[in-house]
Structure 1
Amino acid sequence: MDVDHEVKLLVDAINRLGTKGANGKVSVKYGVLFNDDEVANTFEALVGTLKAAKKRKILTYDGEILLQRVHDNVDVILL
């Protein structure tokens, strides 16, 4: 799969799992995203896809890299 396709699949997953905030942006906790079966079966390297999407300014989150358990409560926000 190419990176652009994986980023699109990630955006679809965030829209499916996330909630729209008062600012109109959809966000999901990293732990919810990481623990979703469909996400786990789709992405070999979720962290890499998240970094690629952040670099393209499609989404944002605090920090450079997200780790399971440590960053489960970090919001991943679609821009």
Structure 2
Amino acid sequence: MGSHLKYLIAGGVIAGEGGSLALLGWMFNMLGYIQGRPLPPATYWSLMIAGVVSLIIGGVLLIIGYSKYKNRGW
């Protein structure tokens, strides 16, 4: 196995986590509107920011892993 596999696995896991966090933040935002008593904005904004940052980091790791995969020497 090459060195690209660890980047691809880590990028996929971190990006998946980031998507879930961003979705959870959006759902908390919508839950406040449905219940009629909004949650503190720091609750869903912190989840949204953490999710977006995780998506960016996961995407960068996936790009690094893909470029290492394409440039491997046989």
Which protein, 1 or 2, shows the higher relative CO under an 8 Å CA cutoff with sep ≥ 6? 2
| Larger proportion of strand | 1
- Please tell me whether Structure 1 or Structure 2 has the larger radius of gyration of its CA atoms: 2
TM-score w.r.t. the length of structure 1 is: 0.29
| Larger proportion of helix | 2
